[in-house]
Structure 1
Amino acid sequence: MNVNTQRHGAALLWIFIASGFAGLIYQSIWTSYLGLFLGHSAYAQSLVLILFMGGMALGAWLVSRRSETLRRPLLWYAAIELVIGVLGLTFNQVYGWSTGLAYDVLFPGAGSLASVNAIRWTLSVLLVLPQCILLGATFPLMSAGFLRLRPDADGKVIAGLYFTNSIGAAAGALAATYLLVPRVGLPGTVLTAGILNILVAFAVYPISKHEPAATVATPGPKPGADSATPTLILVAAAITGLTSFVYEITWVRMLSLALGTTIHAFELMLAAFIAGIAFGGLWLSRNADRIRSPLKMVGWVQIWMGVAALVSMFVYANAFEWVGWLMRVITRTSEGYSLYNVSSGLIALLVMFPAAFFAGMTLPLLTVILLRNGAGERAIGRVYAANTLGAIVGVLLAVHILLPYIGLKMALWVAAAGDLVLGIVLLRRFASRRFLAQAPVMAGAAAVIALAASLLLVRFDPAVLASSVYRTGATTLGDTTKMLFYRDGKTASVAVYESFNQGKRNWAIATNGKVDAGLSPSLKDEPRSDESTMALLAALPLSLKDKLDEVGVIGFGSGMTTHTLLGSKRVGRIDTVDIEPMMVEGAKVLGPRVHRAYEDPRSHIIIDDAKSYFSSSRRQYDVIISEPSNPWMGGTASLFSSEFYRFIPRHLKRDGLFVQWLQLYEIDQTLVSSVLNAMLPEFNDVQAYLANSGDLILVASPHGKVPPLRDLVSRDAALREELARVGFGTLRDLQDTYALNRQGLTAFASIFPSQANSDYFPVLQLKAPESRFKRDMVWDIGTLLSAPWPITATLADLPVRPLDSTLPNKKREIASDVKLRAARELRTALVDGRPIDGAYARQGDAMQLEALRGLAKSCMLDQAPAQSAQIMISLAIETIPFLDEAANQDLWVKPVWLGNCQPSNPLVVDTLKLLAATSQHRHADVIAAGRHLLSGPESGAILVNQTSTYYVWGAMQLAAFSLDDPSVARELHAQYADKLPASVVGQTPVRMLSALATSGRSEGKDAKQAAGSR
């Protein structure tokens, strides 16, 4: 071998790494693109795998027919890489044009769901298949060209190329998700892959000039070659491809239950599988030319691969303990999340690598067998085609038959049995004579032991699989949990179970371990927090519109939202769309709590992607309610994107409303802003309501204003009991959930700036998994309801409940409810001179109250002015926002607790003036008193206390907003903002008030419509 040949060979190996890198970028990005179109990432993953394998099989087969007659296969390889690159450069534009055509023209004219599905899947195939065919041609062409440079080392060449292409693919899978998509989005990532293909083409072209001439004649068998029929070798290649991809599909679903259903987890699993294949090829490249009987080696490799797959069950059974340990010891930070991902990758390697390692040997070995038997260069493409065709069957078999009908464990077991049987057959027929009796018997014994041990000793406990260990760290649901339903569906594993907490029964329905809904078995039991969310999703539209003839619900969940809606006779047809059939089957177990969703003739349950169904049905809805699973779950983030919010108004009537659930737990402020920045530009008006501390409900109107809440639910007798049970029995109960108007939401998004979540720049999909891991919580919106100033009441022009009104249901989780009760306790104690009972008021506030009462009784307020001012402000924070003007009169305007004491100290007097003005909404007086406190001679006593400064500054900002004079707000900022502590001006309520005040109130003057008029 001369120096030039060696140099060219080394260059080709590096080039093929780059080709594999680009190829897996395509696979990852196509999965994301088609996931948007097909409605779920699981369907997209399966389809892309099938197309990827099928296209490569076809491409390899086409090359196998012509390979030996091609004069310069490396030149052809370069040309194909160039075409792949050009297609990559234009993919985003072609995708946008074709899917737009589908939604706007093809789906509406399809006429039936079957036709829509046919169009959707056909279009997906046409988008991806051409490049897949071209990609399939690259391996046999590169192999043929390389073999002409190194005809003496067929095994080393084939295995070496297999390794380099696979290791590049593993790197590409990780780079796409962790480096490229976060920085340049889907369009930039697929563009990068296209550019890389073009560079590969330019790099190969000079080397192609040194290719030896084609050898047309097929060489005869080499001395000592195994005698084997090509048909059996191709069948073996197909079977091993089938089992390998059953393994991959099953492992991914298995590990998703332990590691989480996130884009990061999926790419780590994919990289682990491909890395195993790559290193199997690497080992073979170093040993292939020393293997005397490749056929016998293939037989043993199949045995080892089947045994390794069965052993992976034992390894996987411990994965939940490992993940649980990680969740307990790793710090919940960004750095911790990086460590968790690395650890997840190691767990995926432990499960997948051994069997994948042996899988990486089979294709090169089978190719070498045919090459040594004189099949010529065409053997490369033929084996590659057979292997990938088997992979297609494996994907289809796993997704549509094995997982839904026999479950994860048995799917893996059946695939391993297939490998073991194939290995025994190969050893029986092709091992040398001295092993003829021993080898198959040894292999058969190993197979029987491994199959029996895995079947008898390994149990996939549903209580473990559904434990959501990647969130909670708990490795099981517990011995007291009763599993009511567990099935592995096409897109997810669904569990319904009953648990006991302090003697109370609770039901939950979970997707891949993540609880999507929790509820109590009976209306007589205490409600769970999820019930308030599902009830409010139904109650809000029923209180906003007189009649709902057509309602669309995206996401079945427990079925309770649909069930609650159907409790009203004012509702006509409801179309509830979910993509996973097992979700609908599982929720049936919840029986009477959701029976109307199944039994009411107005209810129509559709198993489909929501966008495709809405496009094809051509219905116009009065209300569309979207309550998908959490945004970090696979395929869900696209239901919170700009493109989705642009799509929805097309399917609403002119006065239709869109209702969106958005989690506030396991998410941070910037991610909530990414949803708001996606939604707000697409709707004329958006109003926000809080079902509880962790669930936000957005109501949007594409054309007009969101109408006022009205007392309409009282007409619906079947609903009253269910709604009252979760705290929404009256109109005022519903009004209490009001949080922000459009202007307030815009202000929130401005103080937590974020790029809008988009299908093509998937901020949520990429960043929400980390927020989930860190246990982030967006308290900021809830704190606005319990802030020291009536921010929400001002935005909605909604007065506080008067003293003589009924208190809200204690079962509610509204942030201001406890504050309201505590404020009444504090007022009674101060005004009536009674001791505080402390049922709701905090102990610290009770102590402050006693201190203030003592200072007033002894007329010592002037002797300790700073202390007096601080105590009064502290108590004002807990009372003024939660009491009406009349209740505040004898508390702060003419404070009866002062008795005969009339303070004269300027600081005490000015503080009382400020509190009197804020309690009566005299905005100009608030600003005047605030200026004096912050810049007068006694300002040091205020500024030294952060609580006092915080209250005074916020009161001035709210007053400026209420006056609707942004110039006043800007003047206040110029005068005071730099002098105030960062801990004061940096708190969310103050930042919100500042953003509102500087923008002016005129923009939100119609907010009162959303919460209902006085």
Structure 2
Amino acid sequence: SLPQKTRAAEISPPGKVRFFKAEAFREPIIYLFALSGLAALAYEIIWTRILVLALVVDAYAFSLMLSIFLGGIAIGSYLGSTLLKRYKGGYLLFGIVQALIGTSAIISFMLMDRIPALQRAISLGDSLYWQKSMLVMFAKSNLLMLLPVLVNGMAFPLAVQIFVRKIKTLGSRVGELYFANTLGAIGGSLLAGFLLIPLVGIQKALLIIASLSVLIGIVAILKGGPRSPILRYATSGGFIVVLVVLISLLGEVSAYGFRQIPTYRNARLLWYKECFDNTIMVTEDLGHDKTRRLLINRNQATSTDLIGQRKNQILGHLPIWFNPEARKALVICFGSGGTAGTIGAYSEISSIDCVEISPTVIECNHFFRDFNRDIVADPRIRIIINDGRNHLQTTKEKYDIITLEPMHPGLSGVVSLYTVEFYRVCQRRLNRSGVVCQWVPLYSMSVKDAKSIIRSFCLTFPHSSFWIVGQEGVLLGSSKPQEMDFAKLKVLFDIPAVKSHLARVLIDNPVTVLSYFVMGEEALLAYTSGAPVVTDDFPVIEYSIPRSKNRFLYEEIAELQQGQDTIAAYLTGVSAREKEELEMRIRNAGLGRTSMLRGFEAYRKGDYRQAFEHFSRCLELDYDQAYIKHFMKRICYRFADAYAARGKFEEARAFCLQAMVLDPDDPETHLALGVANRSCGDLEEALKQFSLALKIKPDYRKARDWFERTTSELAQPKPPSETEKSQR
């Protein structure tokens, strides 16, 4: 055999290894292909943001979008290589492809923006709801991305054909081309996500990148297009004209994301911002309630409706009632600030840390000041812009209370705040008597999903309890046995700031809250036996919840509450007689709550007469009267509006009178009855109702406007009647 040095010399390549040759960077195609890579990744970022607004984004949605993008690139590359077998290629074909990428991106966006909302055609009661939703998701994603992605895939073989002239340099040349394209792609993702979208918005960002694609195409055509200069300029000019026409046809859609909300026609936009990570908007319903909603990427984060605010308050009150000695609190997810504002109502709390991942949510908090007690201005609060879990893992602080209300766990990424590992991090950051309070939505998921969340929580905290507020659950966990001093609870309930805050959500006595209790730790572990545990390695609910988006667990909640535990075991500071009386009142409340849930189910289905009957049963059982009357009034208003729209004003007035019987002290009811009286031609009675509304609420601007208008009309001389005319 040959000596080792001889063998090494024979197999070593001659000369120096040069990673990049200078002549490679003298050719225009490498720069054009780098810009093409920049545009490609910028498109992907922008398309993702568009689809996030058009779809409910979960783990499946991201997988679907990525598969369409990569599949389109692969098919496009195959088509490009096939094209080269028939045509010479060169700069002309590369330029046409680039220009087509830009124009097709605009056309696809226009088509998607103008098609009907396919999702609305799918009934929530459809047994194939998830499968049909996936088909809609697939159709929308293809409509937006497939055509430009197919054309984009053709660019690579065309660029290789231009750049590679000798077969022996194929490997090095393709590597250099890929280097330039990948470098451009990195720049494109940074440009679109961190610069263009925050500065000019999603739509304008798309138009800028589409214009860049057309510009790349024009440069390529001018470089190596038809030999005739006239043809080169004519081809380039043609693409410019097409681009200008498309941009003018598209026009500027102000607040593009707002139009993607299924109910946007029934709301007005108060605030809108497209940030580098999400699109945030605040809307206000056009109905009687004027409910304000905070939406993140079209998904509702929180609202000011009675159901949402009551739940937000319970997430703040409950941990304090179980730990009245608490001084330091942590709120994860600010939302509308309702939970943080509730905690701030207790002067004993010395510091409140609030962790919110999006600074824009804090920026728009002024729209919710009336509901969060302007908590951001409270000197005790510290706003921390961070991920909640990351904060807990890095802080050295320990807390007496940790309460959190993240987005729905079915949305992509949210599951990290529902795993066993997360709860263990919370446990380490609690003081010895500290408590954790976690929101559990009992809708848009299956019973099995809810059991998985509850079991994961209970396996971490040795002492747990489960509470149900309407159709939403609340978990309370601690290391020490949970006790509630009823005598102290009544004292806390009578704190003026707390009492007025609770009055906003129509809670006027502690028994109402105690009736929300369902189960303690032993019953919970038995109830959730066999449910899969949610962990970081096995986030099962992230994949199972999206399949149950159309589920509402009214029947299951009602069944669960019928077998509820007794709260008596958790109460101290109460005599045996008081405890017995409380248990009896709570049992009666349980019957009323079952009727309430059936009423909510009928209300959701649009069967308002059936809902009204169930709610009436709640009143007979003396359950949560003010809360139930609120929804009964909503039903009366719905019927009144429906009859008024059909010109049946007497029937509309009858329903307003029914609302008046339910709550004669509500200024809104007096206003509605006044408007109904005006429609019936009874201006004197209308004026009387507007006056009563202003007497109850002097700053009621809408009632003031109607009062002044009606007063002005009554002051005008009446036209003579037909009888008076004949007498003259």
Counterpart CA distance in 2 for 1:741 and 1:319 is 50
Answering whether residue 335 of structure 2 is matched by residue 557 of structure 1, we say yes
Counterpart CA distance in 2 for 1:813 and 1:726 is 21
1:769 is aligned to 546
The Cα shift of 1:405 comes to 2.1
The Cα shift of 1:373 comes to 6.5
The Cα shift of 1:453 comes to 2.7
Counterpart CA distance in 2 for 1:740 and 1:803 is 17
Give the 5 Å matches for 1:303-314: 303-314=99-110
1:560-594 CA distance string (max 9 Å, x none): 11112112211121111121222222333223333
1:237 is aligned to 33
Answering whether residue 217 of structure 2 is matched by residue 438 of structure 1, we say no
Give the 5 Å matches for 1:848-859: none
8 Å CA contact retained: 1:486, 1:586: no
2:534 is aligned to 757
> Please, which of 320, 323, 337 is the counterpart of residue 130 of structure 2?
337
1:491 is aligned to 277
1:598-624 CA distance string (max 9 Å, x none): 211111111111122222221001111
> Please, which of 443, 464, 472 is the counterpart of residue 695 of structure 1?
472
8 Å CA contact retained: 2:268, 2:283: yes
Give the AA of the match of 2:542.
Q
8 Å CA contact retained: 2:80, 2:155: no
The Cα shift of 1:780 comes to 2.5
Q: Report the CA distance shift for 1:400/1:842 in structure 2 as closer, same or farther (over 3 A).
A: closer
Give the 5 Å matches for 1:558-573: 558-573=336-351
2:79 is aligned to 283
**Aligned-partner SS, 1:268:** helix
Answering whether residue 556 of structure 2 is matched by residue 780 of structure 1, we say yes
Counterpart CA distance in 1 for 2:581 and 2:526 is 23
8 Å CA contact retained: 1:306, 1:417: yes
Counterpart CA distance in 1 for 2:40 and 2:210 is 9
Counterpart CA distance in 2 for 1:360 and 1:600 is 55
> Please, which of 221, 246, 268 is the counterpart of residue 482 of structure 1?
268
Answering whether residue 493 of structure 2 is matched by residue 714 of structure 1, we say yes
8 Å CA contact retained: 2:520, 2:565: no
**Aligned-partner SS, 2:290:** strand
Counterpart CA distance in 2 for 1:713 and 1:843 is 31
Counterpart CA distance in 2 for 1:804 and 1:341 is 47
Counterpart CA distance in 2 for 1:70 and 1:646 is 61
Answering whether residue 376 of structure 2 is matched by residue 583 of structure 1, we say no
Counterpart CA distance in 2 for 1:813 and 1:487 is 45
1:684 is aligned to 462
TM-score, scaled to structure 1: 0.54
> Please, which of 151, 155, 170 is the counterpart of residue 358 of structure 1?
151
Q: Report the CA distance shift for 1:801/1:449 in structure 2 as closer, same or farther (over 3 A).
A: same
Counterpart CA distance in 2 for 1:803 and 1:338 is 46
1:391 is aligned to 185
The Cα shift of 1:800 comes to 5.3
The Cα shift of 1:782 comes to 4.0
Counterpart CA distance in 2 for 1:549 and 1:382 is 61
The Cα shift of 1:351 comes to 1.1
2:301 is aligned to 516
**Aligned-partner SS, 2:164:** helix
1:300 is aligned to 96
8 Å CA contact retained: 1:687, 1:706: no
8 Å CA contact retained: 1:688, 1:697: yes
Give the 5 Å matches for 1:919-998: none
Give the AA of the match of 1:568.
Y
**Aligned-partner SS, 1:377:** helix
Give the AA of the match of 1:264.
Y
8 Å CA contact retained: 1:238, 1:386: yes
Give the AA of the match of 2:459.
P
Counterpart CA distance in 2 for 1:723 and 1:630 is 25
> Please, which of 150, 156, 160 is the counterpart of residue 367 of structure 1?
160
Q: Report the CA distance shift for 1:794/1:731 in structure 2 as closer, same or farther (over 3 A).
A: closer
8 Å CA contact retained: 2:438, 2:476: yes
Structure 1 alignment gaps of length 5 or more: 1-68, 73-212, 219-226, 469-473, 520-526, 820-837, 847-877, 883-1014
**Aligned-partner SS, 1:646:** helix
**Aligned-partner SS, 1:593:** helix
Coordinate RMSD, CA, aligned = 3.7
Counterpart CA distance in 2 for 1:320 and 1:706 is 54
Give the 5 Å matches for 1:17-96: none
Counterpart CA distance in 1 for 2:256 and 2:372 is 24
TM-score, scaled to structure 2: 0.74
Counterpart CA distance in 2 for 1:262 and 1:639 is 15
Counterpart CA distance in 1 for 2:264 and 2:55 is 16
Q: Report the CA distance shift for 1:260/1:454 in structure 2 as closer, same or farther (over 3 A).
A: farther
**Aligned-partner SS, 2:406:** coil
Q: Report the CA distance shift for 1:666/1:790 in structure 2 as closer, same or farther (over 3 A).
A: closer
- Alignment: residue pair count: 590
Identity of aligned residues (%): 24
Answering whether residue 218 of structure 2 is matched by residue 424 of structure 1, we say yes
**Aligned-partner SS, 1:433:** coil
1:408 is aligned to 202
1:864 is aligned to none
1:273-316 CA distance string (max 9 Å, x none): 11111111111222224332422111111100000111121122
8 Å CA contact retained: 1:739, 1:792: yes
Counterpart CA distance in 1 for 2:353 and 2:420 is 23
**Aligned-partner SS, 2:379:** coil
Q: Report the CA distance shift for 1:757/1:779 in structure 2 as closer, same or farther (over 3 A).
A: farther
Q: Report the CA distance shift for 1:489/1:713 in structure 2 as closer, same or farther (over 3 A).
A: farther
Q: Report the CA distance shift for 1:839/1:322 in structure 2 as closer, same or farther (over 3 A).
A: closer
Q: Report the CA distance shift for 1:617/1:411 in structure 2 as closer, same or farther (over 3 A).
A: same
The Cα shift of 1:393 comes to 1.0
1:321 is aligned to 117
Counterpart CA distance in 2 for 1:433 and 1:235 is 22
8 Å CA contact retained: 1:688, 1:699: yes
